[in-house]
Amino acid sequence: MITKKQSRVLDFVKDYRKKHKYAPSLEEIKKKFKLASVSTSHYYISKLQDAGFLNKEHNQPRAVSTVEAKQMIEIPILGAIAAGQPIEAVEISDETITIAKDEIGKQGKHYALRVQGSSMIDEGIFDGDIVVIRKQEVAENGQTVVAVIDDNEATLKKLYRENGKFRLQPANPTLFPIFRDEVEVRGVVVKIIRNLESQLDQGQSRDEKYVRKIDYSWDYRGEKTKSHTHGIHTYPAMFIPQVGRRLLETYSKEGDTICDIFCGSGSALVESRLIGRNAYGIDLNPLAIFLAKAKTTPINPQKLTKEYLALLDRVGKIKDGEIKRPDFKNIDFWFKDKVVVKLAKLKKAIREIKDESIQNFLMVAFSETVRYSSNTKTGEFKLVRVKGDKLEKHDPDVIGIFRKHAEKNIAGMADFYKDAKKDSWTKIIYGDSSKDNGIKANFIDCIITSPPYGDSRTTVAYGQFSRLSAQWIDVFDDPNDASGVDNDLLGGRATKNLIHTLSSGYLKESLEKIAKQDEARAKDVLSFNLGLNECLKQAYRILKPGKYFCLVVGNRLVKQVRIPTDFIIAELAEKIGFTCEDIIVRNIPGKRMPVKNSPTNIVGALEETMNKESIVVLRKN
């Protein structure tokens, strides 16, 4: 659906193209419609692109060329739906909306409803929005549905099946769920349409400027995320490659130099290499650096296979007396003795490989083998030891685990070697992104990143996750240093007090609410944001003017207070000299994040973590 003003912009683009044989610039659109800024022209163009009226020119993010008619579909608006207390389910067909067919998928019948109420605001569904619904009578747990309950009353809620009952969950922390034995599902939400037009025309107040736009097209539910070298090693909160690629394609072009300032295991760097961008990656976790290098270094698969087969041959011949047991604290707590012997033989055989890239690549499979053959629960990111009977019976097939991972990884490398652009480069820096890491000022064409969600102690402990592997593969001179990583990451050390000069109303509000319940937690949150603000400043320094900085962030809940990290980043960044151009909300269907975590480590004291994240798009002024 497009608004009147968008339709006038579309007519202008079409007429201009007819006359000049090329598209108008954003500046010309701004002049023509007397818009406040070029970013408002950009807003209109992206709306027209999202609605399918303009084609996206991937390598020219700001161009508005090719106009092509997309296949459109007319959908009836059947009336109103309550996102609050249920209202009578009336269906009156009077209006319709027209949207591009590929925005809602090819399958099924659709209808639209106008939303009333605020119970779904955390899903990015606001009073007055239009939701497009795909008709269906069943839904998966967690989907946003049109549910009819009691005496023909309809409501828009997230549906969960629990203990033989249905829970209709509002996405608004101030409201309670509705429990019913029976619920009739009339469809699931596939698209939300918001009219931001009036807000843009009226000038933007703080809240209006930071509107979140939910966009399910960023979910990539069910898509393959482990292609190429993406799947060679587990790492917490990895980028979905499709999200990384789409951001790169939208906000950079071939030949550009991009940077991921929290590169982790290097997912964005792999995608950059595949689509011809040079890339810098920065991270402060040595295991992440090791993985990112291995993932982005193309290796001839034939050579790799040859070395791998020779390695298997060698490892069986190593005698117990020839190995060196690693020496780090608590090794016997985390590994059974016979596992240590097998791992040490494998490591010795890998270290004998002369080619450093091949040695490192096979060390990645070894690192996964360390994790899987240790006494830890492998489904967790924190180090938790298995207990009792399970520990007793734990007898991992070390070489079998290694072979499985190595062979899968070699297949991934074969694809990466084939598809990686030969003249692009990747440079990976072990460093703190809140400091100057030697990248020149105004040098980077685009920054794409996903920062940690919060401090390591109460969210994902990257260092703890990496510790055992890091100790085995010698990424530290002294393996006992591996336990100190988390203290150095963002938010690793709480502040002494709550006094600060950060200019964010949203942060101030969150800190006040949290501090009322738990001052120590508020200090953790402040420390994280102080660090993040320094990282934003460094990002500003290295980015070229007019270029984009995209951050994929989560709004976590601390002490039942939802911290709007996306809005906080927007506010802090605007003080530094960025403009916040967009905040897109996506579901996290496949990301390995705990749905609940226990910050206190007290059983039952669970806090919800995120199942969605925001993509904050900033532009350097």
Ligand X SMILES: C[S@@+](CC[C@H](N)C(=O)[O-])C[C@H]1O[C@@H](n2cnc3c(N)ncnc32)[C@H](O)[C@@H]1O
Residue closest to ligand X, measured at CB:
264
Per-residue binder mask for ligand X (CB under 6 A), 219-248, x = binder = ----------------x-xxx---------
Task: Between 462 and 476, name the residue whose CB sits nearer to ligand X.
Answer: 462
Rounded CA separation 467/484 (Å): 9
Beta carbon of residue 387, minimum distance to ligand X (angstroms, whole number): 29
When asked if residue 364 is in the footprint of ligand X (CB under 6 A), the reply is: no
The alpha-helical segments, DSSP class H, found in 420-494 are 462-472, 485-488
Rounded CA separation 542/284 (Å): 18
368: part of which helix (H) or strand (E)? helix 356-373
Per-residue binder mask for ligand X (CB under 6 A), 528-547, x = binder = ---x----------------
Query: With contact defined as beta carbons under 8 Å apart, do 55 and 49 qualify?
Result: yes
Contact residues for 224 (Cβ-Cβ < 8 A; gap 6+): none
When asked if residue 490 is in the footprint of ligand X (CB under 6 A), the reply is: yes
Binds ligand X (CB under 6 A): choice among 16, 53, 216, 262 = 262
- Minimal CA–CA distance to 68: which of 148, 133, 14, 21? 14
Rounded CA separation 179/249 (Å): 44
- Angle (CA) 113 246 23, round 5°: 85
Contact residues for 461 (Cβ-Cβ < 8 A; gap 6+): 381, 382, 486
- Strand-pair partners of 582: 617
Rounded CA separation 478/485 (Å): 13
Q: In this structure, what are the phi and psi dihedrals at residue 145, rounded to the nearest 5 degrees? A: -125, 160
Question: Which 8-state DSSP code applies to residue 442?
Answer: T
Question: Which 8-state DSSP code applies to residue 186?
Answer: E
Query: With contact defined as beta carbons under 8 Å apart, do 597 and 604 qualify?
Result: no
Beta carbon of residue 486, minimum distance to ligand X (angstroms, whole number): 9
- Strand-pair partners of 134: 110, 188
CA 456 to each of CA 265, 382, 524: distance values in angstroms, whole numbers, following the listed order: 17, 10, 10
- Angle (CA) 64 69 72, round 5°: 120
When asked if residue 265 is in the footprint of ligand X (CB under 6 A), the reply is: yes
**Look-up of token digits 């023509």:** 32
| Binding window for ligand X (CB under 6 A); candidates: 218-226, 280-288, 439-447, 568-576 | 280-288
Residues 566 to 605 in contact with ligand X, rule: CB under 6 A: none
What amino acid is encoded at 467 in this protein? Answer: R
| Binding window for ligand X (CB under 6 A); candidates: 29-37, 251-259, 430-438, 514-522 | 430-438
When asked if residue 454 is in the footprint of ligand X (CB under 6 A), the reply is: no
| Binding window for ligand X (CB under 6 A); candidates: 194-202, 246-254, 271-279, 450-458 | 450-458
Contact residues for 240 (Cβ-Cβ < 8 A; gap 6+): 220, 223, 225, 267, 590, 591
Binds ligand X (CB under 6 A): choice among 169, 296, 367, 450 = 450
Beta carbon of residue 484, minimum distance to ligand X (angstroms, whole number): 13
When asked if residue 46 is in the footprint of ligand X (CB under 6 A), the reply is: no
Per-residue binder mask for ligand X (CB under 6 A), 282-321, x = binder = xxxx--x---------------------------------
Task: Between 55 and 234, name the residue whose CB sits nearer to ligand X.
Answer: 234
Question: Which 8-state DSSP code applies to residue 70?
Answer: P
Q: Can you read off the two tokens belonging to residue 310? A: 């020779």
Residues 456 to 475 in contact with ligand X, rule: CB under 6 A: 462
Task: Between 170 and 286, name the residue whose CB sits nearer to ligand X.
Answer: 286
Beta carbon of residue 457, minimum distance to ligand X (angstroms, whole number): 13
Beta carbon of residue 285, minimum distance to ligand X (angstroms, whole number): 3
| Residues that are catalytic | 119, 157
When asked if residue 433 is in the footprint of ligand X (CB under 6 A), the reply is: yes
Beta carbon of residue 228, minimum distance to ligand X (angstroms, whole number): 13
Per-residue binder mask for ligand X (CB under 6 A), 178-217, x = binder = ----------------------------------------
Task: Between 154 and 261, name the residue whose CB sits nearer to ligand X.
Answer: 261
Task: Between 40 and 533, name the residue whose CB sits nearer to ligand X.
Answer: 533
When asked if residue 489 is in the footprint of ligand X (CB under 6 A), the reply is: yes
Beta carbon of residue 60, minimum distance to ligand X (angstroms, whole number): 26
Binds ligand X (CB under 6 A): choice among 52, 61, 84, 452 = 452
CA 5 to each of CA 35, 37, 151, 436: distance values in angstroms, whole numbers, following the listed order: 11, 16, 41, 44
- Provide the binding-site residues for ligand X, judged by CB under 6 A: 235, 237-239, 262, 264-265, 267, 282-285, 288, 432-434, 450-452, 462, 489-490, 531
